[in-house]
A and B are shown apart, each in its own frame.
Chain A
Amino acid sequence: MSEEPLVLGIETSCDETGIGIVRGTTLLANVIASSMEEHARFGGVVPEIAARAHLEALTPAVTAALAEAGVTLQQLDAIAVTSGPGLAGALMVGVGAAKALAVALDRPIYAINHLVGHVGADVLRTPDAASESPLAYPTIALLVSGGHTSLLLVRDLVSDVELLGETIDDAAGEAFDKVARLLGLPYPGGPQIDRVAASGDPKAIRFPRGLTLPKDLEKHRYDFSFSGLKTAVARYTEQRTDAGEPIPIADVAASFREAVVDVLLTKAIAACLDHGIPRLLLGGGVVANARVREVAAERCAAAGIELRIPPLSLCTDNGAMIAAIASQLIMAGHAPSTLAFGADSTLPVTVIQA
């Protein structure tokens, strides 16, 4: 194997079929087939619909990625696949496909943790931006999407990742979807809330910040909870409706978004300061939210923390980030996974490679 391995990554943990190809830390292809539109009328990801869509999309996406990268299957040095966490039935499609491809090509396979993959997205460079400075360690990583809300302490990308906290109920992205529904906005909720909130006052309504009271902080210093916030929004809209008053949608959206962003960044910055780590990495689809990026930039600047946000196409779920971790593992001399691993919907973040 050359020093810079050519790796194809397969990601099917949620509703995006992602196939990425990387050489070392260079991104060569990032093909994503999303089934998001099929879930829209259900107001959230339907696991069985997602899994069926993965089966249909996978082989064409592999072919498209090879064309985009300008490489052949025979040139690949290794296959990487998300083995968890995620939706079990969706993960299994990718795991089965990846194993068969690895055996057919007689190449090693790397079973990769999805959450660590989000952190790994940061090491990728496009061929024309190869000189950018690499991520320094340790770093705090805040990963927020429709499927997860996690705060990680990453001491080393391929050997030492610790979970500091995560959501104890809804993921932040899910809260956006549910509140969008309350306000009569379509799925997915994130971009809709973002759009409506632009003309609203984020201080109009003081919605609760979950798990930020002193007694909660003792046990849940870095954990998140968004179900109370969602209920508070519901109660507010009900009271207005009952009183025969119009719902100030822009103000509700802006105030809700502010509550989510505030608690996300307050906890992330606290993790940086508590651990003396002046670096924060954002990942996951919620990074698309303009206010998340804005508040992260402000607060990191104020606290002297270096903020890193990979390009959005690498923040949402994708196969390139999975290939990136495998590539890092290979370059660090780690052995491949055996063929016996399964799909693990609750794979802990400490298991970087299954």
Chain B
Amino acid sequence: MLLAIDTSAGTSVAVVDRDRGVIVEAGESDTRRHAEVIGELIELCLRQSGVTVSDLSAVAAGMGPGPFTGLRVGIAAANTFALGAGKPVVRVVSHDAIAFGHYAAGGEGPLLVVTDARRREVYWSTWQGADEFGLPQRSQGPALAKPDDLPAAVTDYANYRRLDATEVSAGSLGMLAEGLFQQGREFAGSQALYLRSPDVTVPNAPKRVS
């Protein structure tokens, strides 16, 4: 069983089990309240699922891409929850969770997922489809682009079914993590997927005041 946390869009928390599926999922779609709701959502999922901390085998963290401030809240929470629980963290690309949910619900074929990156930009990824275990096969991305540049940025743009997503389901993320583990696939790296450097410039010489 896994506790899954994703804050790459809104805040989504779930308790999932390889055999039982998504036991409980709870979320808040407001993209400015991650820090407020994260603790209550974790507590609620544990209480409603009747799953104790020691029942869990790991904590699954959505690593983005996602706007920075919110994304970090979920990763930080997954890290310290895992530390407190004495369990490992497994990391998953949040876009893969969207694709996993799409294919699990019967979707087929090439898929393009687009999510909001703020500052008039979007994050995007593509998949050719899902494999025999339902695991999405990512072919491009995740990457960052201006919305108008997408047709040029995505190779074979016209071949993809486009899905503009506003939410990432921690239930999907957790079930994907279960599948990746079961099939011995690689998880995501430990770095948050910001896909953008901090927005700073080296200052010029001080301006004259007189």
Contacts and interface: CB of A to CB of B under 8 A. Distances in A.
Are A and B associated in one complex?
Answer: yes
Interface of A: 41-43, 46, 48-49, 51-52, 54-55, 58-59, 62-63, 73, 88-89, 91-106, 109, 178, 181-182, 231, 234-235, 238-239, 339-343
Interface string B188-208: 000010100011101100101
A47 to B, nearest CB: 8
Given A104-B81, A109-B39, A238 B209 contact: yes
Given A58-B80, A99-B77, A342 B199 contact: no
Contacts of B75: 55
Contacts of B151: none
B91 interface: no
Contacts of A93: 72-73, 76
The binding surface of chain A is classed by DSSP as: helix
B118 to A, nearest CB: 13
Contacts of A103: 39, 42-43, 46, 81, 84
List 4 A-B pairs, minimum CB-CB distance, nearest first: A99-B39, A104-B84, A100-B77, A339-B39
Contact of A42 (B69, B73, B200): B200
A55 B192 contact: yes
A103 B59 CA distance: 13
Given A89-B72, A99-B77, A100-B80, A238 B42 contact: no
Given A51-B68, A99-B38, A104-B84, A58 B200 contact: no
Interface string B39-72: 1101100100000010000000000000011101
A103 B46 CA distance: 9
Given A89-B69, A238-B209, A96 B38 contact: yes
A69 B210 CA distance: 55
A96 B42 CA distance: 11
Contacts of A95: 35, 73
Contacts of B192: 52, 55
Interface residues of B, number: 42
Contacts of B5: 100
Contacts, number: 132
Nearest to A59: B79
A340 B36 contact: yes
Interface of B: 5, 7, 33-40, 42-43, 46, 53, 68-70, 72-85, 192, 194, 198-200, 202-203, 206, 208-210
Given A89-B69, A103-B39, A339-B40, A96 B74 contact: yes
Contacts of A91: 35
Given A88-B69, A93-B76, A182 B206 contact: yes
B11 to A, nearest CB: 10
A49 B194 CA distance: 12
Contact of B76 (A73, A100, A105, A234): A100
A48 B42 contact: no
Contact of A100 (B36, B78, B194, B202): B78
Contact of A63 (B83, B198, B203): B83
B200 A97 contact: no
A93 B80 CA distance: 11
Given A59-B80, A100-B81, A42 B39 contact: no
Contacts of B40: 339-340
B84 A105 contact: yes
Given A51-B72, A103-B46, A235 B80 contact: no
Contacts of B80: 58-59, 62, 97-98, 100-101, 104
Contacts of A99: 38-39, 42, 77
A231 B83 contact: no
A235 B210 contact: yes
Given A55-B72, A231-B209, A339-B40, 19 more contacts: A55-B75, A55-B192, A58-B80, A59-B83, A92-B69, A92-B70, A93-B76, A96-B76, A97-B80, A99-B77, A101-B81, A102-B39, A103-B81, A103-B84, A105-B84, A181-B206, A234-B209, A235-B209, A340-B37
Contacts of B199: 48
Given A100-B38, A340-B36, A92 B72 contact: yes
Contact of B206 (A100, A234, A339): A234
A81 to B, nearest CB: 10
